[in-house]
Amino acid sequence: MASVPEEGVVTPDGRQIGGVLMEMKNITLRFGGVVAVKDISFDIRKGEIRAIIGPNGAGKSSMLNVISGFYNPQEGEVWFKGYRRGPMKPYEVARLGIARTFQNIALFDGMTVLDNIMTGRLNKMRSGFLAQALWWGAAEREEIENRAQVEKIIDFLEIQNIRKTPVGRLPYGLKKRVELARALAAEPQLLLLDEPMAGMNVEEKEDMSRFILDVNDEFGTTIALIEHDMGVVMDISDRVVVMDYGRKIGDGTPAEVRGNQEVIDAYLGVAHD
């Protein structure tokens, strides 16, 4: 199965994949009687694009929510950058350098695109309460610096023309893109994307795939993503975890996973969107 040596590898397209960035050890997560995640272990390596796939209700989002601290598992250990992470609040996880998007898009609808993306930088801004009141200059300089970073991301994701639009008015596909932009604004070490292409047309999916690859390539960001579209998964991911009914049933390169009988069975006769 997963076959990456400790010191890392260079992928066929020349990208460097390093050591373990995040490791999940025997994670079990229950909601009352429902076991959403059942004794799952896997790792995410520095610089890689790691996909999590599986039928509806397999527990993919739950797994991502464990990584981002939105759920705390009843059993198992979460290791990040070589340290074991205790139970944490989502905002604390975010401050560790883990950014995310949501399956059902969670944006600040009342704010403009620019303001939404700026919130991604809140933790990069140091000026406190009093400093801002007493010494407006420093706060203003900081705001301008962060604004410049945000403008870079806006250019990168090609959303210049909607900068001042309130997010609530945007079509679905663009909302997804703004959400990605906000996550990127935090300059995360690990980026978690929950179905970044769900509900998109072919063209939008191609754009999003390209953005994800570009982010990984240009900023070296490690990415873990959930996706239903097999074509996309096979195209862009380095390694794939396959889940079914809360269990892990496969883990390896796209080619390895595709040939795995258990995976094929899990997908047979299951309708996907």
Partner 1 sequence: MDQLIYATEVLLNGLMTGVMYALVALGFVLIFKASGVFNYAQGVLALFAALTLVGIQQGQIPFAHMINAMFGTHLETFGWTVPSLVAILLTAMVMVVLAFLIEKLVLQHLVGQEPIILFMATIGLAYFLEGLGDVMWGADIKTLDVGLPQGISETIEGVTADWFGYGFFIDRLDLWATAIAAALVAALVAFAQYTKQGRAMRAVADDHQAALSVGISLRFIWVMVWSIAGFVALVAGIMWGTKSGVQFSLSLIALKALPVLMLGGFTSIPGAIVGGLIIGVGEKLFEFLIGPMIGGATENWFAYVLALIFLVFRPQGLFGERIIERV
Strand partners, 79: 23, 84
Q: Which of 8, 19, 57, 166 binds ligand ATP (CB under 6 A)?
A: 57
Residue number, 199 or 259, with CB nearest to partner 1: 199
Give the per-residue SS3 of the chain: CCCCCCCCEECCCCCEECCEEEEEEEEEEEECCEEEEEEEEEEEECCCEEEEECCCCCCHHHHHHHHCCCCCCCEEEEEECCEEECCCCHHHHHHCCEEECCCCCCCCCCCEHHHHHHHCCHHHCCCCHHHHHHCHHHHHHHHHHHHHHHHHHHHHCCCHHHCCCEHHHCCHHHHHHHHHHHHHHCCCCEEEEECCCCCCCHHHHHHHHHHHHHHHHHHCCEEEEECCCHHHHHHHCCEEEEEECCEEEEEECHHHHHCCHHHHHHHCCCCCC
End-to-end CA distance of the chain: 27
Q: Does 60 bind ligand ATP (CB under 6 A)?
A: yes
Instruction: Give the nearest distance from C-beta 65 to Mg ion in angstroms.
Output: 9
Residue with tokens 């994701």: 157
| Residue nearer to partner 1 on the CB measure, 140 or 214 | 140
With CB under 6 A as the contact rule, the residue among 6, 7, 31, 137 that binds ligand ATP is: 31
> Considering beta carbons, is residue 61 or 222 the nearer one to Mg ion?
61
Min dist. Cβ of residue 129 to partner 1 (A): 6
Binding partner of 165, given partner 1, ligand ATP, Mg ion, none, CB within 5-8 angstroms per partner class: none
Stretch that binds ligand ATP, among 55-63, 133-141, 157-165, 177-185 (CB under 6 A): 55-63
The reply to whether 54 sits near ligand ATP by the rule CB under 6 A is yes
Contact between 24 and ligand ATP (CB under 6 A)?
no
CB of 106 to partner 1, least distance (A): 4
Q: Does 68 bind ligand ATP (CB under 6 A)?
A: no
* Under rule CB under 6 A, residue 116 binds ligand ATP: no
- Dihedral of CA atoms 110, 69, 220, 184 in degrees, nearest 10, equals 10
Report what 112 binds from partner 1, ligand ATP, Mg ion, none; CB cut-off 5-8 Å by kind.
Answer: none
Work out which of 9, 15, 96, 103 binds ligand ATP, going by CB under 6 A: 103
Query: Which of residues 24, 36, 94, 263 is near ligand ATP by CB under 6 A?
Result: 36
How many amino acids of this chain bind ligand ATP (CB under 6 A)?
A: 12
Comparing every residue's Cβ against Mg ion, the nearest one is 61
Q: How far apart, in whole angstroms, are the C-alpha atoms of residue 156 and residue 216? A: 13
- For partner 1, the binding residues (CB under 8 A) are 68, 70, 89-92, 94-95, 99-100, 102, 106-111, 115, 118-120, 122-123, 125, 127, 129, 132, 139, 143, 182-183, 186
